[in-house]
Amino acid sequence: MFWSKGYDGVTIDDLVEGMGVGRPSLYAVFGDKRAIFLRALKAYAERKGASAAKALLSPQSLRDSVAGFLRYTVESATEEGSARGCLLMCVAPLVNDAEVQRFLQSTVVGGAALLERRFRDGISAGDIPPDFPVAVRAIQVTDFARGLTMRAQIGTPRKTLLKEAEEAADLVLQARRG
């Protein structure tokens, strides 16, 4: 519901109707709208984050892992029957709330840390050179993922985004310029 209407567009009545509970029960179990939104964000991040980590940390080549992570991003953002984009990247940043912003920052930092881990594994396996800029490239991959997600939200076809995800994986793994 927050995804389709945005945080400000969702009313308590919308939540009561959508969740099929009475107003007193909603407040007793979940608290206010902000608490429900934070809970929804955290549940979404856990579910999507676990799947993204699985794609990234699978036992395949580094290039295939990065491409798999970006493909998962596209597939998730263009999933049939759901809102296009990503709740964390498309709706949550618009909420002017310090706790939401801290949660988003920690989510991005956690994603970058997973990518850094995968790049270090790639260095150990000899897939990339020891001087590979692990931290910078991890942020670049998260930036590519956000860009693909935003483009999904505005209606770019899945096929186009999947092709771009593959090209982004190749680009981010290129050697440093001298």
pLDDT of residue 85: 62
Question: How far, in Å, are 74, 107, 150, 164 from residue 110 at the CA level?
Answer: 19, 5, 20, 24
Residue 112: per-residue pLDDT: 92
CA–CA distance, 33 with 56 (Å, rounded to integer):
34
Q: Are 55 and 69 in contact (CB under 8 A)?
A: yes
- Determine the pLDDT at residue 62: 93
> Domains in the chain, start-ordered, CATH in brackets?
37-172 (1.10.357.10)
- Residue 125 makes CB contacts below 8 A (sequence gap 6+) with 62
The pLDDT of residue 24? 79
Q: How far apart are CA 150 and CA 164, in angstroms?
A: 13
Q: What is the pLDDT of residue 100?
A: 80
- In SS3 terms, 88-137 reads as HHHHHHHCCCHHHHHHHHHHHHHHHHHHHHHHHHHHHCCCCCCCCCHHHH
Q: Look at residues 69, 68, 14, 60 and name the one whose alpha carbon lies nearest to residue 36.
A: 14
Cβ-Cβ contacts under 8 Å for 5 (sequence gap 6 or more)? 14
Which segments of the chain does DSSP mark as H helices, in order? 2-9, 12-19, 23-30, 33-56, 62-77, 98-124, 134-153, 158-172
- Residue 135, CB half-sphere, CA atoms under 13 Å: how many? 1
Is residue 84 helix, strand or coil? coil
- Position 67 scores a pLDDT of 95
> Are the beta carbons of 81 and 75 closer than 8 angstroms?
no
Tens-binned pLDDT, residue by residue, of the chain (178 aa): 666 667 777 777 777 787 777 777 777 777 787 888 888 778 777 777 787 788 888 778 999 999 999 999 999 888 876 656 666 665 655 667 788 888 888 888 888 999 999 999 999 999 999 999 999 999 999 999 999 988 988 889 999 999 999 999 999 998 776 5
Per-residue pLDDT at 50: 80
pLDDT at 92: 54
- Model pTM? 0.80
